[in-house]
Amino acid sequence: MNFYKIYQNKKVLVTGATGFKGAWLCLWLHILGARVYAVGYSPNKNKNLFYSLNLHKKIKINILDIRDKKKLSSYIIKNKPQFIFHLAAQPLILDGYKEPYKTYAINTLGTLNILEISRKSKFVRSLICVTSDKCYESNFSTKGFKETDRLGGVDPYSGSKAAAEIIIKTYIESYQKKQNLIGIASARAGNVMGGGDQSPNRLIPDIVNSLQSKKKIILRNPNFNRPWQHVIDPLNGYLMLGAYLYKNPKKFSGAWNFGTEKNTVTSVLTIVKYAIKNWGYGQLKIKKQKKFYEQTNLQLNIEKSKKILKWKPKYKISESVKLTIEWYKNVFNNKISPEDITKKQILDYMK
């Protein structure tokens, strides 16, 4: 798919632009020649990437709270985006336990506001709401969740994403199918890695902080398995989905999984070993600790996206870690700027 043809000169709004995935997506869209409108929030836990990619010099960032419908609405109406990628969220499971009300409010009301403003607009044609692989009800199966599987969630973060999914579905059923003016989709991906993530309590930032300060990497759950993927893979899926929705809103509205290939769940221990190998040195220490509940062995079934969108993940887990560590190592050693290496990794991916 030729992204340049689709996104060049198009008006694209990205919420959560100051976050990890959002900053990568904004840079990618900027490379494609899109006119990007960015919404972020302050204080922002994952604060550095948007600025270290120099995106503030290329894209006007609007700091607002997506729970504030009035402000969000006037910003969207003023700028009239044709595409919206809604990524803004409280995305951390641990913070969900600490602040359930806030997590529910941002993840559900924020999504509802975006849907409602888009529905009433005459200009939004392609709306993608990013939720999570955690939106499914745990069934302890290792087969992989299909888009039609039951939604659920034990912890507040997962529940908030499942609730957002229900809201999205009602908008598709009630408005998309009847009016066919706007394409609405939800995108479900799993744990991502890549350069520049600064979020607290995420595996890669923790590993890199220890490697940079030459401290032992402390592993609390070495055998915890997750379907890790490089951030570029699901972002590629979001961009493809955005393009398909733009062309044919009716056909492509709905839920889409952007996970890894079958049987690719990988343990935390393996990720750390790959990271140490690519960094060149490093030590680890296992300090077992009972963790809060988080679904393990969670895998997505990606057959629908593969068959209909012709999307598939490109990087194996060893390559994802390699690219991620290459990013941090080169930036840490001042060999390349965060902007240049991110751009390079995006352009290499598109080749």
Residues that bind ligand NAD (CB under 6 A): 16-22, 40-41, 44-46, 65-67, 87-91, 106, 110, 130, 132, 189-192, 199
Q: What values do phi and psi take at 226, rounded to 5?
A: -145, 155
Q: What are 156's two structure tokens?
A: 């507040």
Reported as type and span, the H/E element at residue 324 is helix 317-332
Give the residue with the Cβ less far from ligand NAD, 110 or 242. Answer: 110
Report, in Å, the least distance between residue 6 CB and ligand NAD.
22
> Minimum distance between the CB of residue 59 and ligand NAD, rounded to whole angstroms?
13
Residue found by looking up tokens 């593969």 in the block: 306
Least distance to ligand NAD, CB of residue 131, Å: 7
Tell me how far, at minimum, the Cβ of 22 lies from ligand NAD, in Å.
5
Nearer to ligand NAD, 190 or 282 (CB): 190
Between 177 and 232, name the residue whose CB sits nearer to ligand NAD: 232
Cis before 200 (ω within 30): no
Q: Which residue number, 191 or 221, has a Cβ lying nearer to ligand NAD? A: 191
With contact defined as beta carbons under 8 Å apart, do 238 and 128 qualify?
yes
Residues 10 and 7: their CA atoms lie apart, in Å, by 5
Q: Within 10 A of 218 (CB to CB), how many other CB atoms are there?
A: 13
The residue (of 205 and 216) whose beta carbon lies closer to ligand NAD is 205
CA dist., res. 14 & res. 29, Å (int): 10
Nearest approach in angstroms of CB 345 to ligand NAD is 16
Q: Which position's Cβ is nearest ligand NAD?
A: 19
**CB of 105 vs ligand NAD, minimal distance in Å:** 8
User: Residue 58 CB, nearest distance to ligand NAD (Å)?
Assistant: 16
Give me the least distance between CB of 90 and ligand NAD, in Å please. 6
Strands, E, within the chain: which ranges?
A: 11-15, 35-40, 61-63, 83-86, 126-130, 183-188, 192-193, 217-219, 225-226, 229-230, 254-257, 266-267, 284-286
For 186, the token pair is: 């939800």
Residue closest to 119 by CA, chosen among 163, 61, 34, 177: 177
Is the Cβ of residue 182 or residue 192 nearer to ligand NAD in the bound state?
A: 192
The number of C-alpha atoms within 13 Å of 67 and in the hemisphere containing its C-beta is: 11
| CB contact set of 145 (below 8 Å; sequence gap of 6+) | 133, 136, 139, 257, 298, 299, 300, 301
CB nearer to ligand NAD: give 3 or 50: 50
Q: For 80, how many CA atoms within 13 A lie in the half-sphere containing its CB?
A: 3
Amino acid at 3: F
- Measured from the CB atom, the residue of 107 and 250 that comes closer to ligand NAD is 107
DSSP letter for 136, please: B
